[in-house]
Structures are given as C-alpha cells and as structure tokens.
C-alpha cells in the first residue's frame, strides 16, 4: 500500500509523491497523521540542509495523529487514541540519557531528521519512541493542530530550564516569531515580572503588540540595548533569549544582560557567523552565563501538551495558516519569509478529513 508524503530529496528539492506506507514497527506504533506544523528548522533543512538530517527524508517533527496499529508489547496505548508525538528517539542507555538529558543522547535519532517524520499520511513510531515516552495522549478538548505546538513549546521549556528563568525576573526575547511568542508566555508562567520582545519585522511587531509581552521593542526604530536599559532602570535583563539567527541580536542580548544574567542561545547562528568574537569580558565582570539549548525531552513534551490543554499557553492564537499536504512548499516559503506565525499542514487526504481531524 502507498501513501502521500512530502520528501526532501536534496536541498531545495522537495517532492510530493507516493511512497510505500510504513509497516507498524516491532514494539512501536503506526499513526494516521492528522496535523504537522512547520518550523524554521524545516525551512532550514529544505534550503540548506541540517547537521542531523539524512536524505532523502519525509520531513515534519511537530506531529499529531491517531493510532491505527499497535506493535507487540506496547502498553497503555491503543488503536483510536489521539496522540502527540515528540520526535526524539534517544537510546535510553548512554551517559546523557541516564543523567536525564535524553535530548543530548549520544545515539540520538530524530523523526523528521534521521527517521521519516510527519509530513505524510502515516508515521511509523519506532519502539524507542514508545519506550522513552515520546507518545502523549491528547486531551479531548485539544485539537490536533494546537497539539502540534507541544514540540516547539517543549523546546522553549528546555531553553528556559537551561536559562533558569525564575520569579520576578526580567526577560528579553530576541525574535517575535512563533518561538519568541511561546517563550514570552512561558516566561510569565515561570514567574517573570517583565517580558520584553525585540523584533525588527513590522508585521511581527504588530502581532507581538497584541498582548504577548509587556514591551515590544522595534529594533528598526530604537536601539534595543538603550531601550532595555531604560525599561530596566539601567539594570539590564536577567535572561536574554536568542530566538532568531541574527548576529546583531546576539550582541544586543549580551550588551543588555544584568549581573548574574543568563544568555541562552536557543537559536543556532549562521555557521559563517557562529565564531564571531563577542565581548566575553562582559560575562566575567557580570558573573553572567552563556547557555545553549537544543531540542527537548519527553518530559518537556508532556508538560507542554498539558499547558496547551489547560489553555495556559494560548496556542490557538499562533495558528495563522492551514494548508493541505500538497502545499507544504508554499508553507515553507511562508516560514522562510516570516509571514504569519505557525503554519499547520493537514496530512490526511480530503475525503478522510472529517474522520481524523480535530477542530
């Protein structure tokens, strides 16, 4: 049997085609995909590739669907369950897995990177995913589309855990795309007393000003470092979260940091800019820290899904575009051009929509 899928054959070469429908893996699950969201990483893979990408590949790692087959030995999950799937397949045995940071697993495999992902009608979830808790039941009130946001939100949770965002803190987020807005809401949930978004694109500034943060600094109009200084009484921010790839933003983030501040590289930089020198003496004098964040864990996914289900993170407000599988490339163009916020893809063929989609 075959299915529709979006395959990345080579950088910039995306194909919608018919591929063999995967079998249910031993000890794993077969999922009928409902929704898969696109993110900047998908756009990056499409355009230039990615460290962890093996081609050809069915892309898509922000996934939700319905279980249609259950492998031998799987407990607690059954056919018909609506589930959100975290894409990481950690080994469960290495030093990092045993230390509770499976996102840094030595043997890490990721659906949509090393294994096929969710931009298809069906998804095979290997046994490792089931064993490591990658599959979360979606509460009845939560739509598939909003449930796909659990993965990016989980990555934000990871970033804020690395940066230890805490009560009463001032947080600046550089980049007001979907990730920046999720970071802003999450920072409030973690008790931040002031959240500042810094953005340069007029459309995104306008969206961010619809109640996503205390302040939105227009970096095209104001010097962000001076503006942060003014907003924090000259102190700077306790946490600067880099949620964009602009090197200038990294400089602003470092310059806007308070004593004992933490600067989190949530986004990677462009490879040719990543080794650019920064004024690291600032870290010395401020006793500040520089931390990185990459991916998320099953625990963070489950927590993210819960926050979305409780309405504590307004996920539905991020969903600006909804496209069929045949229009993934259009969606990736939107992501690339930073138009709208979150683009979700309906993975089912049209006639099955009614059966498998949430609201």
Count of residues interacting with Zn ion (CB under 5 A): 7
The residue among 39 and 197 lying less far from Zn ion, judged by its C-beta, is: 39
State the minimum distance, in angstroms, from the CB of residue 167 to Zn ion.
Answer: 29
Q: What is the C-alpha to C-alpha distance for residues 199 and 242, in angstroms, rounded to an integer?
A: 11
Q: Which two tokens stand for residue 261?
A: 């501040």
The residue among 182 and 263 lying less far from Zn ion, judged by its C-beta, is: 182
State the minimum distance, in angstroms, from the CB of residue 166 to Zn ion.
Answer: 26
CB-CB contact of 160 with 169 (8 Å): no
Listed ranges 1-9, 95-103, 161-169, 193-201: which one lies at the site for Zn ion (CB under 5 A): 95-103
CB-CB contact of 60 with 6 (8 Å): yes
State the minimum distance, in angstroms, from the CB of residue 150 to Zn ion.
Answer: 11
Q: Which residues between 42 and 61 bind Zn ion (CB under 5 A)?
A: none
Query: Contact between 181 and Zn ion (CB under 5 A)?
Result: no
The residue among 149 and 192 lying less far from Zn ion, judged by its C-beta, is: 149
Q: What is the C-alpha to C-alpha distance for residues 331 and 27, in angstroms, rounded to an integer?
A: 34
Q: What is the C-alpha to C-alpha distance for residues 96 and 102, in angstroms, rounded to an integer?
A: 6
Listed ranges 22-30, 90-98, 167-175, 263-271: which one lies at the site for Zn ion (CB under 5 A): 90-98
Query: Contact between 90 and Zn ion (CB under 5 A)?
Result: yes
Q: What is the C-alpha to C-alpha distance for residues 250 and 243, in angstroms, rounded to an integer?
A: 10
**Cα distances (Å, whole numbers) of residue 13 to 22, 55, 62, 80, 181:** 22, 11, 21, 35, 31
State the minimum distance, in angstroms, from the CB of residue 74 to Zn ion.
Answer: 21
CB-CB contact of 255 with 223 (8 Å): no
Query: Contact between 91 and Zn ion (CB under 5 A)?
Result: yes
Binding Zn ion (rule: CB under 5 A), the pick from 16, 94, 101, 164 is 94
Listed ranges 94-102, 162-170, 190-198, 246-254: which one lies at the site for Zn ion (CB under 5 A): 94-102
Query: Contact between 39 and Zn ion (CB under 5 A)?
Result: yes
Within 8 A by CB and 6+ apart from 67, the residues are 29, 30, 31, 32, 77, 78, 79, 80, 81, 83
Query: Contact between 178 and Zn ion (CB under 5 A)?
Result: no
């Amino acid at each position: 049997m075959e299915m529709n899928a979006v395959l990345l054959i080579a950088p910039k070469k995306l194909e919608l085609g018919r591929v063999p429908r995967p079998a249910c893996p031993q000890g794993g699950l077969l999922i009928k995909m409902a929704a898969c969201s696109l993110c900047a990483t998908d756009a990056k893979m499409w355009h230039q590739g990615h460290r962890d990408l093996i081609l050809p590949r069915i892309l898509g790692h922000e996934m939700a669907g319905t279980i249609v087959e259950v492998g031998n030995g799987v407990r607690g999950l059954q056919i018909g369950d609506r589930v959100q799937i975290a894409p990481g397949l950690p080994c469960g045995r290495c030093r990092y897995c045993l230390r509770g940071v499976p996102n840094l697993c030595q043997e890490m495999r990721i659906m949509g990177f090393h294994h096929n992902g969710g931009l298809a009608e069906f998804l095979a979830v290997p046994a490792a995913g089931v064993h490591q808790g990658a599959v979360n039941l979606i509460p009845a009130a939560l739509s598939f589309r909003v449930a796909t946001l659990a993965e990016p939100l989980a990555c934000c949770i990871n970033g804020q855990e690395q940066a230890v965002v805490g009560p009463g803190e001032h947080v600046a987020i550089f980049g007001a795309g979907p990730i920046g807005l999720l970071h802003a809401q999450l920072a409030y949930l973690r008790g931040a007393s002031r959240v500042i978004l810094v953005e340069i694109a007029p459309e995104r500034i306008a969206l961010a000003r619809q109640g996503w943060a205390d302040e939105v600094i227009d970096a095209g109009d104001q010097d962000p470092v001076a503006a942060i200084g003014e907003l924090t009484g000259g102190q700077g921010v306790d946490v600067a979260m880099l949620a964009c790839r602009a090197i200038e933003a990294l400089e602003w983030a470092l310059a806007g940091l308070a004593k004992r501040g933490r600067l989190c590289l949530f986004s990677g930089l462009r490879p040719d800019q990543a080794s650019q020198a920064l004024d690291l003496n600032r870290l010395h004098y401020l006793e500040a820290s520089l931390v990185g964040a990459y991916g998320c864990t099953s625990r963070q996914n489950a927590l993210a899904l819960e926050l979305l289900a409780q309405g504590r993170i307004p996920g539905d407000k991020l969903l600006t575009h909804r496209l069929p599988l045949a229009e993934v490339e259009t969606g990736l163009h939107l992501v690339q051009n930073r138009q709208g916020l979150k683009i979700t893809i309906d993975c089912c063929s049209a006639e099955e929509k009614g059966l498998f989609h949430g609201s």
